[in-house]
Amino acid sequence: MRFRTRTAEVIINLDGCVAPDCGFACVKACRLYGRNILKIEDGKPALAVSPQEAVRIDNECLACEIYCQWYGSGVIEVRVPMEVV
């Protein structure tokens, strides 16, 4: 699954997701450091808000990606396009 934020794109490869073995680290990280836009649905992480709302409220803290690397299977990628000026 993927969704956009104000300046980035978050991609979660659900095929490689090891939930619940990771304790849903990304969802917890979003509650702790982000804006609580992730939820658990059918045993996997899912958007808790509409894609439009995610663009508006996501604070781009990157905690989901880091926590998935630390406690999960490293299947979250936050892509931030870099512009060379």
Rule CB under 6 A: which residues touch ligand SF4?
12, 17-19, 22, 24-26, 45, 67-68, 72-73, 75-76
Give whichever of 14 and 83 is closer to ligand SF4, judged by the CB atom. 14
Which residue, 38, 73, 67, is CA-closest to 53? 38
Q: From the CB of 68, what's the least distance to ligand SF4, in Å?
A: 3
CA distance 41 to 56: 22
CA distance 45 to 63: 14
Q: From the CB of 52, what's the least distance to ligand SF4, in Å?
A: 22
Give whichever of 78 and 83 is closer to ligand SF4, judged by the CB atom. 78
Beta bridge partners of 12: 76
Given a contact cutoff of 8 angstroms between Cβ atoms, the answer to whether 49 and 57 are in contact is yes
Q: From the CB of 58, what's the least distance to ligand SF4, in Å?
A: 16
Give whichever of 51 and 84 is closer to ligand SF4, judged by the CB atom. 51
